[in-house]
Amino acid sequence: MAGLGLILLGAPGSGKGTQAARLAGAYALQHLSTGDLLRDEVRRGTPLGKEAKGFMDAGGLVPDALILGMVRARLEEGGEKGFLLDGFPRTLGQAEALEGMLDGLGRKLDHALFLDVPEDELVARLALRRSCPGCGRVYHLKVSPPAADGLCDACGQGLIQRLDDTEAVVRERLKVYAASTHPLVEHYEKRKLLRHIIALGGIETIQVQLRAILGEPGA
């Protein structure tokens, strides 16, 4: 039987990556973060990375033509494994394209998990975020700091501040989210797939709420 099909929906800084890493381990899901995949393409200097970089650094969206091929290839590789989409879809066009891809693969969506966080909290979280350029693990200098100052617990690489986490770019990302991505909440509400989570409070508290929706792993 095919595994769960999940979308994590939410603004920049709402905790998609943080929660996805925990859910993917517990439910044996393929974690597909389009942001992480794009950053990897940029780091490797691929043609896709070179095209995407300018949009990302400015806080805008990377064109669908680049995103959709990348996602389709990863979903095909995943086979029957459950999937957890983080940062995709981000527009109504991407949501419609996803429906077509899943139909073609004989797969379906079970839940669109919406992490709802007020804007002032998003800005505060992103200012103190640090990320591992090697494995993508995410930290927060106060809430979830690394064990050794400035180094990733998982792979030992030096942590960085993402280029798009400067205040001006964060403001632009929030604007783009409100205009292009937030309408997906209504889209999935209409399809009865939306699960609304008030994602304030500790990381583990939010994880418990998500697991209550998904049920016990393996059940």
Whether residue 16 lies in the annotated active site: yes
Nearer to Mg ion, 2 or 66 (CB): 66
Residue of 3, 13, 15, 17 interacting with Mg ion (CB under 5 A): 17
Rounded to whole angstroms, the maximal C-alpha distance in the chain is 47
Nearer to Mg ion, 31 or 195 (CB): 31
Is 188 one of the binding residues for ligand AP5 (CB under 6 A)?
no
Whether residue 162 lies in the annotated active site: yes
Peptide bond into 89 cis (omega under 30): yes
Whether residue 44 lies in the annotated active site: no
Burial code (b: 16+ CB inside 10 Å, e: under 16) for 9-29 equals: bbbbbbbbbbbbbbbbeebeb
Is 129 one of the binding residues for ligand AP5 (CB under 6 A)?
yes
Min CB(80)–ligand AP5 separation in Å: 23
The two tokens of residue 152 are 């990733």
Whether residue 69 contacts residue 41, with contact meaning beta carbons closer than 8 Å, is answered with no
Please pick, among 39, 125, 130, 173, the residue that the annotation labels catalytic: 173
The two tokens of residue 123 are 């800005």
Residue of 48, 95, 206, 214 interacting with ligand AP5 (CB under 6 A): 206
Pairwise CA distance, residues 165 & 7, whole Å: 23
The two tokens of residue 164 are 């798009």
Please pick, among 39, 129, 130, 195, the residue that the annotation labels catalytic: 129
Pairwise CA distance, residues 23 & 10, whole Å: 16
User: Could you list the residues that contact ligand AP5 (CB under 6 A)?
Assistant: 10, 12-18, 34-35, 38, 55-56, 59-62, 67, 87-88, 90, 94, 125, 129, 138-140, 143-144, 164, 173, 202-203, 206
Residues designated catalytic: 16, 90, 129, 162, 173
